[in-house]
């Protein structure tokens, strides 16, 4: 073939770079000159730009699917033997491909803004698209100059080196795209913030436009983090779900800041207060996304020295990071004081509660940030090496969460401007009673061995019950006839259900974490065929180990017969896989979900006398950790569906563009 996919992809990337440059300056210049023709270039270029990036991505998928090992990226990360799914997911299971995915999602969001923002004021829209163009340009340069995914090998090898076995999992198909949709989605809020600062004008309408995009990014990030956590849980072989690993923290920080942004944007939209702060949060949230990209992509974590030995990529991202964050903050310092603040409120009010939320979320973000970067900074400055692990976060992050979570149910109960704390407490009485009952019950059932876990159970119930009370109070349930209450409930704005679900989901996650951290049952032992392991209410009997084959691996599958006290019986089959291409192995744990709890079974070494080392856990309510995340995301979707109907152009913008119809976002 004369012109191969690789060249088409490479060429498309160069064209996309040219278009990004165009997008970076022409609409901006048009907005400055108030020239409608120049501004109208923005949306067209943004959509075409997406087309070329998508073409490049499709080309990379094509070379992976066709196992074209003359492309270095395919040779290093794929193999002709692996299933089609992993040939495709292998596209982003490596540095170059994942940066291309990052750019693809950025271009997608740019195109979406271009298509669904005809109700924005022209100048704002032009500036937003230009800022998106800057980000696109920077990352396309990074890709083309330091991480070209289409680089060729000559001569072409016969067989690829295979995808890292750990990544050969459905998790890779879902987790990175979700995470990037979240990360990169926050770029929209960033671009809006920069555009507003250039514009020098910001109003409640701005918050109305920004919120749906932020919500969209937030819900994908929520799902991405939950998915990543579950993946680590079943893949690592001992059932941990969160490690405070710097790479995890890198995704958690934008989530915390993004959650704060969601809440402060509400205040700005409804009350016109917290404008400057919301702008700053929008900048910070995307800055943390960029920081996360730097942390993960530069190799700075493995060690400062590894970073110093091959600094090209790291320094390039660091430059992008510095330029965008530094530039944005300078612009903020220069322009923000000129923005008009508005909306006075009493400390005890809905606004006050949301400020409380922001204060604690930002303190939590700062804690994670310092915990992640401090060892790095200390090593660089003083060559002292320290580790910051989960015990640190248990002493710092967890205490910050307690007052925040306690306050959550009060927020929606307080009125805007001036709230009535006593009244809110009275309306929450049912939730309080339920939480106290939960604490007492947990204390009693756990044999009163500690008070922290029962209190945490109470906190989880408090969040869930508080969300239910929020809805029943709005519907005035039990205060009128049931039918009018029902009519009220169905008449509530969808965002009311969204926030209630969001808070309830948080409660579910708290319950899951508490139960599994405090009351899991563990059995680590060595068994021979026919022997049993007692695990709580279950007996696990080792039956046999057989050999099997997968498409690109050899497997040892061990079967266990599990019998419950209630007489229920089922089989579990954890296995070990040996991948010849990379000479490495993975343990595939077996999971059995019983209601919301799970039995977790993972294998160790098998010795010659036939005995097998087994790690077995009963993990009570463990699934709630991730179900909580899913419920939060569903809350986001419901809230978003509400906004779609209402987010139409505010009057001021409509007056300027009389022809524009209110378009859903």
Partner 1 sequence: MLALALLCAVAAPAFAVQPNEMLPDPALEARARAISEGLRCLVCQNESIDDSNAPLAHDLRMLVRDRLKAGDTDAQVRQYLVARYGEFVLLKPSFSPENLLLWGTPIMVLAVGGLILLSRRPRRQPRTLALSAEEEAALERILSREDQPG
Q: Residues interacting with partner 1, by CB under 8 A? A: 164-167, 175-176, 179, 228, 231-232, 235-238, 240, 243-248, 251, 296, 301-302, 344, 347, 355, 359-360, 362-364, 366-367, 370-371, 374, 378, 382, 384-392, 395-397, 399-400, 524-526, 576, 584-587, 602, 604-605, 613, 615
Burial class (CB in 10 A: 0-12, 13-18, 19+), 441: middle
Residue with Cβ nearer partner 1 (15 or 363): 363
Q: Which two tokens stand for residue 246?
A: 């710097």
- Three-class SS state of 660: coil
What is the DSSP code string of 220-268? HHHHHHHHHHHHHHHHSSS-------HHHHHHHHHHHHHHHHHHHHHHH
Q: Which CB sits closer to partner 1, 99 or 232?
A: 232
Euclidean distance between CA atoms 23 and 132, whole angstroms? 8
Q: Nearest distance from residue 110's CB to partner 1, in Å?
A: 25
Do 469 and 504 form a contact (C-beta atoms < 8 A)? no
Task: Return the number of other C-beta atoms located less than 10 Å from residue 490's C-beta.
Answer: 8
Rounded least distance, CB 69 to partner 1, Å: 23
User: Taking the complex as a whole, how short is the minimal distance between the CB of residue 40 and partner 1, in angstroms?
Assistant: 40
CB of 64 to partner 1, least distance (A): 19
Question: Which residues are within 8 A (CB) of 65 and not within 5 positions of it... i.e. 6 or more apart?
Answer: 84, 87, 88
Which pair of structure tokens corresponds to residue 197? 């600062």
- Residue 215 vs 296, nearer CB to partner 1: 296
The backbone torsions φ and ψ at residue 153, rounded to the nearest 5 degrees and listed phi first, read -115, 140
What is the closest distance, in whole angstroms, from the C-beta atom of residue 598 to partner 1 in the complex? 18
| CB distance 460 to 507 below 8 Å | yes
Least distance from C-beta 336 to partner 1, angstroms? Answer: 14
Q: What is the pairing mode between strands 521-527 and 612-619?
A: antiparallel
Question: Of all helices (H) and strands (E), which one includes residue 162?
Answer: none
- Cα separations in angstroms, 657 against 126, 648, 661: 15, 13, 9
Q: How far is the CB of 33 from partner 1 (least distance, A)?
A: 38
Residue closer to partner 1, measured from CB, 275 or 576: 576
> Taking the complex as a whole, how short is the minimal distance between the CB of residue 359 and partner 1, in angstroms?
5
Instruction: Tell me whether residue 121 or residue 228 sits nearer to partner 1 (CB atom).
Output: 228
Kindly tell me which of 37 and 384 has the beta carbon lying closer to partner 1: 384
Residue 594: exposure state from Cβ atoms within 10 A (0-12, 13-18, ≥19): middle
SS3 content of the chain, % helix, strand, coil (to 5): 65, 10, 25
Q: Which CB, 7 or 235, lies closer to partner 1?
A: 235
Closest CA to 366 of 287, 474, 476: 287
Residues forming a β-bridge with 558: 545
C-beta closer to partner 1: residue 289 or 639: 289
Of 158 and 395, nearer to partner 1 (C-beta) is 395
Closest CB to partner 1 among residues 238, 486:
238
Q: Kindly state the smallest distance separating residue 38's Cβ from partner 1, in Å.
A: 40
Minimum distance from residue 526 beta carbon to partner 1 (Å): 5
Cα 57 to its chain centre, rounded Å, is: 22
For 533, phi then psi, to 5°, come to -120, 125
Shortest distance (Å) from residue 576 CB to partner 1:
6
Tell me how far, at minimum, the Cβ of 247 lies from partner 1, in Å: 6
Q: Cβ distance 616 to 540 under 8 Å?
A: yes
Cβ 384 to partner 1 shortest distance, Å: 7
**C-alpha R_g of the chain:** 27
- Nearer residue to partner 1 within complex by CB, 144 or 359: 359
CB of 457 to partner 1, least distance (A): 22
How crowded is residue 202: how many other Cβ atoms within 10 Å of its Cβ? 24
Q: In the complex with partner 1, which residue's Cβ is closer, 364 or 622?
A: 364
**What's the CA gap between 527 and 615, in Å, rounded?**
11
Q: Under a CB-based contact definition with an 8 Å cutoff, are residues 130 and 25 in contact?
A: yes
Closer residue to partner 1, CB minimum distance, 62 or 236: 236
CA torsion sign for 367, 372, 373, 378 is positive
> What values do phi and psi take at 244, rounded to 5?
55, 35
- Alpha-carbon distance of 44 to 505, in angstroms, equals 40
Helices (H), ranges, 70-203: 72-77, 84-89, 95-115, 122-146, 170-199
87 or 576: CB nearest partner 1: 576
């Amino acid at each position: 073939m004369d012109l191969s996919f690789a060249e088409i992809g490479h060429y498309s990337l160069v064209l996309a770079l040219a278009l990004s440059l165009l997008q970076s300056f022409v609409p901006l210049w048009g907005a400055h000159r108030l020239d409608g023709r120049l501004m109208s270039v923005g949306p067209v270029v943004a959509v075409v730009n997406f087309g070329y990036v998508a073409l490049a991505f499709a080309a990379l998928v094509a070379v992976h699917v066709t196992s074209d090992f003359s492309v270095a990226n395919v040779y290093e990360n794929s193999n002709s033997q692996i299933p089609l799914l992993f040939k495709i997911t292998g596209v982003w299971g490596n540095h170059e491909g994942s940066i291309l995915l990052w750019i693809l999602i950025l271009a997608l969001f740019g195109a979406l803004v271009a298509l669904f923002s005809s109700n924005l004021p022209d100048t704002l829209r032009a500036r937003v698209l230009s800022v998106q163009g800057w980000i696109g340009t920077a990352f396309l340069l990074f890709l083309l100059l330091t991480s070209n995914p289409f680089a060729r090998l000559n001569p072409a090898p016969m067989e690829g080196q295979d995808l890292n076995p750990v990544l050969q999992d459905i998790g890779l198909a879902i987790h990175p795209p979700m995470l990037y949709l979240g990360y990169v989605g926050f770029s929209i809020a960033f671009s809006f913030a920069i555009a507003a600062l250039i514009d020098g004008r910001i109003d409640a309408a701005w918050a109305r436009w920004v919120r749906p995009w932020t919500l969209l990014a937030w819900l994908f990030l929520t799902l991405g983090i939950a998915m990543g956590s579950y993946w680590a849980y079943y893949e690592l072989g001992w059932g941990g779900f969160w490690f405070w690993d710097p790479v995890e923290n890198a995704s958690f920080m934008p989530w915390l800041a993004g959650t704060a942004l969601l809440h402060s944007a509400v205040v700005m939209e409804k009350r016109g207060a917290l404008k400057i702060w919301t702008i700053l949060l929008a900048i910070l949230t995307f800055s943390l996304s960029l920081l996360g990209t730097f942390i993960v992509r530069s190799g700075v974590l493995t060690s400062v020295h590894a970073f110093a030995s091959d600094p090209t990529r790291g320094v390039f991202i660091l430059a992008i990071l510095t330029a965008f964050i530094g530039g944005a903050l300078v612009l903020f310092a220069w322009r923000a004081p000129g923005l008009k603040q508005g909306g006075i409120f009493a400390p005890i009010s809905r606004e006050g509660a949301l400020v409380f939320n922001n204060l604690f979320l930002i303190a939590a973000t700062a804690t994670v940030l310092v915990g992640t970067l401090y060892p790095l900074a200390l090593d660089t400055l003083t060559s002292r090496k320290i580790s910051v692990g989960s015990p640190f976060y248990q002493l710092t992050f967890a205490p910050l969460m307690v007052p925040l979570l306690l306050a959550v149910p009060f927020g929606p109960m307080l009125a805007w401007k001036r709230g009535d704390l006593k009244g809110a407490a009275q309306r929450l009485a049912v939730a309080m009673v339920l939480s106290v009952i939960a604490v007492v019950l947990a204390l009693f059932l756990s044999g009163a061995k500690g008070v922290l876990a029962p209190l945490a159970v109470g906190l989880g119930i408090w969040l869930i019950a508080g969300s239910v009370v929020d809805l029943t109070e709005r519907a005035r349930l039990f205060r009128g006839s049931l039918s009018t209450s029902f009519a009220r409930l169905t008449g509530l704005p969808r965002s009311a259900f969204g926030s209630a679900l969001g808070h309830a989901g948080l409660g579910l996650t708290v319950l899951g974490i508490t139960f599994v951290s405090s009351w899991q049952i563990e059995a680590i032992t060595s068994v021979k065929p026919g022997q049993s392991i007692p695990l709580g209410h279950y007996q696990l009997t080792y039956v046999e180990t057989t050999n099997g084959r997968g498409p690109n691996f050899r497997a040892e599958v061990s079967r266990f017969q599990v019998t419950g006290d209630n007489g229920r019986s089922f089989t579990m089959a954890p296995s070990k896989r040996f991948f010849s291409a990379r000479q490495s192995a993975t343990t595939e744990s077996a999971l059995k979900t019983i209601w919301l709890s799970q039995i977790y079974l993972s294998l160790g070494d098998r010795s010659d006398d036939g005995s097998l080392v087994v790690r077995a856990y009963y993990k009570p309510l463990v699934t709630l950790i991730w179900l909580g995340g899913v419920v939060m995301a569903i809350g986001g979707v419901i809230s978003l569906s509400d906004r779609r109907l209402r987010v139409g152009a505010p009057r001021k913008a409509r007056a300027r563009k009389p022809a524009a119809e209110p378009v859903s976002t």
